[in-house]
């Protein structure tokens, strides 16, 4: 895993290489093992390396000394198969990321079509003097860009573009801020920074003379109707083959790896597959919350780990962790995500790094592909049973009257995704799954995973977000995903056969971090600090903010968490304060 940055100037001017160096300096945490640079014509690249595959000769940029040069952030898991399929190509290294460079002369803008992995890459075609940017179909790896009077600049994180002088931290989009405060994340191409855009999942972009001239997209999901499985046994066999294949290639690394085990269905299935594929015990990390009334999954995870013969590592995340780590978590999330699951993810990444691991496998994507969320069941019920309602139909802060103005348009991004899927021949269940895969997954869960692990120079891999898995899981009949009140039916069936100790068909409690409980205990002190922050005061009346921190209730606690996170994020990323001390120290600075 790495950090990439670069620039293509407008109308052929010489690139500001010092600005590119400032960008890559801001990405040092993403790649502490090496740095590389490239400059030709009107293009300049820079690269920070986290060495995972081909430790000796895999330094970037890669240059074929004829057609193109390339930098990449990510892993191409099928690089071995691609090399075998293209014996006519000559390779200078054993790196997985050299593969798209060698494919490009023949494939051109379709260079990503054969890639299986998580990646954000940049390629300079010297023949055409064009810049090509590409991102994996699920959006596992991030890539941002600014197109302005200087040309086109890109980087792995928005803060790098700001450090390079290509965007202003204070120039925020009020529409995107309303979206963030309403849904905890922002959708689509736009970020909270007015000038900074996301390359969309699966998008390949071509620029010439510093301007975008073409875009192409590879879909993450098989949206064409698939041939039905003959029976449940055939579906289960297909799922078994896909899971084992995906986990096998996701373990390709020249460094030690482990996994995160929550005790839920997704991570337990991942561990079951890893245990079958590895001769040595798998190192599994679990977080729990002992200082609260929240359900603690460590006992169940411990039983699952024992059944798999795993080397189990447990960490506790308590109230002190919440207040001491939250400023650092907010600092890592330059593209803000007000998801409390960032907190244990950050500490798990820290522990994995302390234990000498550079790679962890994670269960993100299981709920989306196998239909695990309760909101899916609600959305697919007939109207006369209280179903059929749109997902994310209520704004978290609007319902409590906390915003100065009604957040008009906060749901436009989700509504656009819904509109695009109408008439696609999908079932209602597939539609809501596809909406989440298009927006919630890349713009919340995967940003959370990327930033919270890369803050510790740890790579997070997601075997459930793989085309081999998606082609089976998304195409399953609805009744092999949801039966009654039970989601992820076929995945549970597979896990029940592989590892009975996982108790796959027992009701599972959702993963909850007790942030409301911890905030309530300090609400009288936190309320005035949060209300006084300029970013919060711009969006919400201070007296209403102070009041929400002294009220108990599900919606009040949720709103207090969003406002606390946003106050810290704005304080650090917009006002430029260092994330020093605990929450109280940071907000009082």
Give domain limits for the chain: 2-217, 232-374+447-502, 515-588
CA distances from 56 to 34, 215, 253 (A): 11, 35, 13
- Interatomic CA distance for residues 327 and 507, integer angstroms: 34
Return all residues near 536 (Cβ < 8 A) that are at least 6 apart: 530, 542, 545, 563, 566, 567, 570
Q: How far is CA 349 from the centre of its chain?
A: 14
pLDDT at 96 over 90: yes
- Tens of pLDDT, residue by residue over 432-463, are 999 999 999 999 999 999 999 999 999 999 99
Evaluate the CA torsion angle 258, 247, 59, 108 in order and state its sign: negative
Q: How does residue 56 score in pLDDT terms, banded at 50, 70 and 90?
A: confident
> Could you tell me if 89 and 102 are in contact, meaning their C-beta atoms sit under 8 angstroms apart?
yes
Note the pLDDT of residue 510: 64
Which helix H or strand E contains 512, and what residues bound it?
none
The pLDDT > 90 percentage for the chain reads 83
Q: Assign residue 150 a region (left: φ > 0; alpha: ψ between -120 and 50; beta: otherwise).
A: alpha
| Least confident stretch, 413-417, 437-441, 575-579 | 413-417
| Most confident region among 11-20, 118-127, 216-225, 390-399 by mean pLDDT | 118-127
Mean pLDDT across 63-69 = 96
CA distances from 99 to 85, 103, 110, 306 (A): 12, 6, 13, 39
Q: How does residue 377 score in pLDDT terms, banded at 50, 70 and 90?
A: confident
pLDDT at 124 over 90: yes
Q: Assign residue 83 a region (left: φ > 0; alpha: ψ between -120 and 50; beta: otherwise).
A: alpha
The two three-digit tokens of residue 569, written as one number: 């994020």
Q: How does residue 390 score in pLDDT terms, banded at 50, 70 and 90?
A: confident
Q: How does residue 183 score in pLDDT terms, banded at 50, 70 and 90?
A: very high
Q: How does residue 81 score in pLDDT terms, banded at 50, 70 and 90?
A: very high
- Tens of pLDDT, residue by residue over 19-38, are 999 999 999 999 999 999 99
Q: How does residue 383 score in pLDDT terms, banded at 50, 70 and 90?
A: low
> Could you tell me if 448 and 329 are in contact, meaning their C-beta atoms sit under 8 angstroms apart?
no
Mean pLDDT across 562-579 = 98
Counting every residue written for the chain, the total comes to 589
> Could you tell me if 23 and 70 are in contact, meaning their C-beta atoms sit under 8 angstroms apart?
no
Note the pLDDT of residue 42: 96
Rg (CA), the chain: 23
pLDDT at 407 over 60: yes
* Residue-by-residue DSSP string for 1-21: -EEEEEEEEGGGPPP-HHHHH
Q: How does residue 511 score in pLDDT terms, banded at 50, 70 and 90?
A: low
pTM, 2 dp:
0.96
- Interatomic CA distance for residues 379 and 194, integer angstroms: 33
- Tens of pLDDT, residue by residue over 134-171, are 999 999 999 999 999 999 999 999 999 999 999 999 99
pLDDT at 384 over 70: no
- Interatomic CA distance for residues 455 and 351, integer angstroms: 12
CA distances from 501 to 91, 258, 272, 302, 486 (A): 46, 20, 10, 10, 18
Averaged pLDDT score across all residues of the chain: 94
**CATH number for the 2-217 domain, one of 3.60.15.10, 3.40.50.720, 3.60.20.10, 3.40.50.620?**
3.60.20.10
Q: Assign residue 119 a region (left: φ > 0; alpha: ψ between -120 and 50; beta: otherwise).
A: beta
- How many CB atoms lie under 10 A from the CB of residue 433? 27
Reduced to 3 states (helix: H, G, I; strand: E, B; else coil), residue 469 is: helix
Return all residues near 108 (Cβ < 8 A) that are at least 6 apart: none
Evaluate the CA torsion angle 489, 337, 32, 98 in order and state its sign: positive
Note the pLDDT of residue 225: 62
Which helix H or strand E contains 434, and what residues bound it?
helix 428-438
The two three-digit tokens of residue 549, written as one number: 């921190």
The two three-digit tokens of residue 34, written as one number: 């090496």
Note the pLDDT of residue 373: 92
Q: How does residue 414 score in pLDDT terms, banded at 50, 70 and 90?
A: confident
CATH 3.40.50.620 fits 232-374+447-502, yes or no: yes
In this structure, are strands 459-461 and 130-135 parallel, antiparallel, or unpaired?
Answer: unpaired
- Tens of pLDDT, residue by residue over 290-334, are 877 777 889 999 999 999 999 999 999 999 999 999 999 999 999
pLDDT at 492 over 90: yes
Closest CA to 383 of 352, 426, 428: 428
pLDDT at 420 over 90: no
> Could you tell me if 316 and 343 are in contact, meaning their C-beta atoms sit under 8 angstroms apart?
no
């Amino acid at each position: 895993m790495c950090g990439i940055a670069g620039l293509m100037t407008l109308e052929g001017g010489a690139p500001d290489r010092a600005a590119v160096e400032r960008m890559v300096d801001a990405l040092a945490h993403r790649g502490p093992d090496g740095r590389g640079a490239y400059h030709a014509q009107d293009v300049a690249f820079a690269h920070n390396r986290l060495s995972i595959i081909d430790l000796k000769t895999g330094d970037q940029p890669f240059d074929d000394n004829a057609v193109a040069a390339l930098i990449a952030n990510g892993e191409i898991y099928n690089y071995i198969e691609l090399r075998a399929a293209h014996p006519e190509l000559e390779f200078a290294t054993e790196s997985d990321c050299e593969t798209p460079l060698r494919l490009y002369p023949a494939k051109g803008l379709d260079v990503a079509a054969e890639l299986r992995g998580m990646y954000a890459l940049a390629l300079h075609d010297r023949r055409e003097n064009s810049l090509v940017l590409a991102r994996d179909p699920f959006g596992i790896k991030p890539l941002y860009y600014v197109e302005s009077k200087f040309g086109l600049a890109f980087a792995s994180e928005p803060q790098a573009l700001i450090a390079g002088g290509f965007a202003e931290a204070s120039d925020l989009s009020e529409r995107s801020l309303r979206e963030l405060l309403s849904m905890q994340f922002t959708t689509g191409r736009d970020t909270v920074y007015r000038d900074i855009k996301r390359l969309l999942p699966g998008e390949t972009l071509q620029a010439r003379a510093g301007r975008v001239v073409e875009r192409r997209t590879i879909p993450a999901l098989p949206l064409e109707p698939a041939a039905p499985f003959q029976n449940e046994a055939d579906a289960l066999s297909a799922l078994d083959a896909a899971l084992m294949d995906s986990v096998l290639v996701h373990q390709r690394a020249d460094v030690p790896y482990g996994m995160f085990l929550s005790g839920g269905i997704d991570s337990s299935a991942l561990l079951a597959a890893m245990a079958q594929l590895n001769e040595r015990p798998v190192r599994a990390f679990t977080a729990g919350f002992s200082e609260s009334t929240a359900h603690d999954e460590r006992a169940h995870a411990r039983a699952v780990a024992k059944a798999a013969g795993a080397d189990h590592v447990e960490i506790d995340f308590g109230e002190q962790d919440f207040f001491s780590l939250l400023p650092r978590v907010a600092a890592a999330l330059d593209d803000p995500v007000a998801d409390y699951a960032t907190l244990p993810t950050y500490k798990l990444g820290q522990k994995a790094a302390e234990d000498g691991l550079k790679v962890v496998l994670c269960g993100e994507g299981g709920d989306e592909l196998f239909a695990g969320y309760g909101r899916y069941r609600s959305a697919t019920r007939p109207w006369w049973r209280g179903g059929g309602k749109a997902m994310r139909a209520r704004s978290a802060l609007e319902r409590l009257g906390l915003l100065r103005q009604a957040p008009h348009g906060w749901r436009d991004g989700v509504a656009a995704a819904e509109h695009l899927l109408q008439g696609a021949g999908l079932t209602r269940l597939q539609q809501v799954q596809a909406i989440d895969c298009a927006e919630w997954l890349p713009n919340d869960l995967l940003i959370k995973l990327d930033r919270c692990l890369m803050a510790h120079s740890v790579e997070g891999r997601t075997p459930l977000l793989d085309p081999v898995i998606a082609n089976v899981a998304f195409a399953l009949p609805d009744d092999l995903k949801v039966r009654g009140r039970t989601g992820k039916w076929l995945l549970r069936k597979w896990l029940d056969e592989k590892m009975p100790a996982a108790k796959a068909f027992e009701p599972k409690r959702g993963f909850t971090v007790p942030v409301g409980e911890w905030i309530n205990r300090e609400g009288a002190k936190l309320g005035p600090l949060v209300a006084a922050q300029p970013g919060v005061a711009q969006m919400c009346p201070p007296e209403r903010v102070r009041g929400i921190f002294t009220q108990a209730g599900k919606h009040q606690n949720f709103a207090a968490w969003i406002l606390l996170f946003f106050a810290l994020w704005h304080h650090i990323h917009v006002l430029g304060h260092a994330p020093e001390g605990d929450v109280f120290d940071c907000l009082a600075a």
